[in-house]
């Protein structure tokens, strides 16, 4: 069976880490780059995000929701160095790349055309950032083309740029003349990968966040999902169309809908839907790239930040500061509910499970408890020594006084 596409898009995400001491300087660099604009979230135009996330998480991700228009206007008018100092205090700052035109591209000799429609930069003031690109295919309805594109495009950041048996990806735009120019742009924006590699983050492949709505002829009341589940598994694992090997990585699935399934792996998230339900090419695609997308980013952030904290505890780097960060993370993010939305809560739970966030958190908590206990013992020992010293000094003083009295 050859599946046909009704609607699709894919996001490619590159995590990178900036030293916290250099974060404000990094924001200043982006603010000075006139190709980027500060993304401002407002209740009037981003109502779905505002209503979906609970207040503390909303404030963490989108600080501008709590600002008046006057305050936002004043912020935009400030000198760049002042603005960078202010933004560096916000938990999260998001920039949009000003695309004068969609970046046109083509894959292989068959000429499957695609567009890069959006480039965003999501920056957290802990130095954890995400470079994000949105793409979609043009002039093709073949599901196989989407499989091959996702498989190939997620590797364009690889130094070896090994696309296996596939021809290269070509870009056709004045913005980036070829893939190498796009790679140079990404490296210029993300900088050195030293801090990223330290946290054992894969810098060679993009994480992938993809949506597809297939034609209803393949999945409807007469044709059950089980008949095409093989294609879903391949899609959720971001494998090429001609892959015949067994799919070994387990896909964590979630479905609240009759004709849509979400597959989650450590490589990314894929939503596979049928046009049998009209919502699957109207409402659901918009929700998937807004509220559920930022739920994904939030969990990615938690995973990387926990790895960052774990490294600081393991290396005994400024333990007092590391303890404070862990307490703040627990209070401001870990114990906070993300949303009251039932679907969103379930997706958040599944992401937590795939990323093994509970394991990471409690491993760090164990180290924190041991270090805190040892520090308390150390403080108690030092206090005991000081008190003993004072008592000995007083005893000697009293003995000397007594000797003087009996002379």
Indicate if 270 and 307 belong to the same structural domain.
Answer: no
* Structural domain contains residue 281: yes
Indicate if 215 and 325 belong to the same structural domain.
Answer: no
* Structural domain contains residue 44: no
Indicate if 309 and 210 belong to the same structural domain.
Answer: no
Domain boundary residue among 289, 310, 343? 289
* Structural domain contains residue 55: no
Q: Please enumerate in sequence order all residues whose Cβ is within 8 A of that of 112, keeping only pairs 6 or more positions apart, or say none.
A: 106, 137, 139, 140, 145, 148, 149
Indicate if 266 and 320 belong to the same structural domain.
Answer: no
Phi, psi of 269 (to 5 degrees): -130, 135
Residues 212-251 pLDDT 10s? 999 999 999 999 999 999 999 999 999 999 887 666 578 9
* Structural domain contains residue 113: yes
Q: Please enumerate in sequence order all residues whose Cβ is within 8 A of that of 207, keeping only pairs 6 or more positions apart, or say none.
A: 12, 13, 14, 15, 154, 267, 268, 300
Check residues 369 and 334 and name the one with the higher pLDDT: 334
**Alpha helix ranges (H) inside 335-356:** 342-354
Q: Please enumerate in sequence order all residues whose Cβ is within 8 A of that of 250, keeping only pairs 6 or more positions apart, or say none.
A: 265
Sign of CA dihedral 193, 196, 202, 208: negative
Indicate if 216 and 246 belong to the same structural domain.
Answer: yes
Q: How many CA atoms lie within 13 A of 57 on its CB side?
A: 23
In this prediction, residue 46 carries a pLDDT of 96
* 8 and 211 Cβ atoms separated by less than 8 Å: yes
Domain boundary residue among 259, 289, 319? 289
Indicate if 269 and 173 belong to the same structural domain.
Answer: yes
Range of the domain at 174: 5-35+98-289
In this prediction, residue 248 carries a pLDDT of 59
How many domains would you assign to the chain?
2
Domain boundary residue among 239, 267, 289? 289
- Least confident stretch, 194-198, 222-226, 357-361, 381-385: 381-385
- What is the DSSP annotation of 147-182? HHHHHHHTTTT-SS---TTSPPEEE-SSS-SSHHHH
Rounded to the nearest integer, the mean pLDDT of the chain is: 88
* Structural domain contains residue 49: no
Indicate if 213 and 353 belong to the same structural domain.
Answer: no
With cut-offs at 50, 70 and 90, classify the pLDDT of residue 166.
very low
- For 395, the token pair is 């005893």
* Structural domain contains residue 41: no
* 120 and 37 Cβ atoms separated by less than 8 Å: no
* Structural domain contains residue 51: no
In this prediction, residue 368 carries a pLDDT of 83
In terms of pTM, does the model score above 0.75? yes
Indicate if 262 and 365 belong to the same structural domain.
Answer: no
């Amino acid at each position: 069976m050859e599946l046909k596409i009704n609607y699709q898009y894919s996001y490619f995400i590159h995590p990178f880490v900036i030293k916290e001491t250099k974060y404000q300087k990094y924001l200043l660099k982006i603010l000075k780059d006139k190709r980027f604009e500060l993304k401002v979230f407002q209740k009037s135009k981003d109502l779905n995000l505002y209503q979906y996330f609970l207040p503390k998480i909303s404030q963490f991700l989108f600080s501008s929701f709590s600002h008046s228009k006057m305050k936002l206007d004043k912020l935009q008018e400030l000198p760049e160095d002042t603005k960078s100092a202010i933004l560096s205090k916000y938990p999260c700052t998001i920039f949009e790349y000003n695309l004068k035109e969609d970046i046109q591209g083509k894959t292989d000799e068959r000429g499957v055309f695609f567009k890069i429609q959006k480039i965003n930069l999501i920056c957290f003031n802990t130095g954890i950032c995400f470079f994000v690109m949105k793409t979609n295919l043009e002039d093709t309805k073949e599901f196989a083309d989407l499989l091959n594109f996702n498989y190939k495009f997620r590797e364009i950041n690889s130094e070896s740029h090994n696309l296996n048996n596939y021809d290269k990806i070509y870009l056709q735009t004045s913005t980036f003349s070829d893939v190498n120019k796009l790679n140079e742009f990404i490296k210029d924006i993300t900088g050195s990968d030293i801090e990223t590699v330290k946290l054992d983050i894969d810098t060679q492949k993009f994480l992938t966040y993809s949506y597809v709505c297939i034609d209803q002829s393949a999945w409807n009341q007469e044709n059950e999902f089980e008949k095409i589940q093989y294609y879903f598994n391949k899609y959720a694992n971001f494998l090429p169309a001609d892959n015949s090997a067994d799919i070994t990585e387990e896909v964590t699935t979630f479905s609240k809908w009759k004709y849509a399934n979400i597959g989650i792996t450590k490589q990314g998230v894929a939503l596979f839907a049928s046009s049998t339900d009209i919502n699957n090419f109207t409402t659901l695609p918009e929700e998937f790239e807004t509220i559920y997308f930022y739920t994904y980013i939030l969990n990615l952030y938690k995973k990387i930040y926990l790895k960052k904290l774990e490294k600081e505890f393991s290396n005994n780097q400024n333990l007092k500061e590391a303890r404070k960060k862990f307490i703040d993370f627990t209070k401001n993010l870990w114990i906070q509910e993300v949303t009251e939305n039932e679907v969103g809560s379930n997706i958040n739970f599944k992401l937590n499970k795939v990323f093994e966030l509970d394991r990471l958190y409690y491993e760090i908590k164990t180290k924190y408890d041991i270090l805190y206990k040892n520090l308390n013992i150390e403080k108690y020992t030092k206090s005991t020594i000081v008190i003993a010293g004072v008592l000995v000094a007083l005893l000697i003083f009293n003995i000397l006084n007594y000797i003087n009295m009996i002379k």
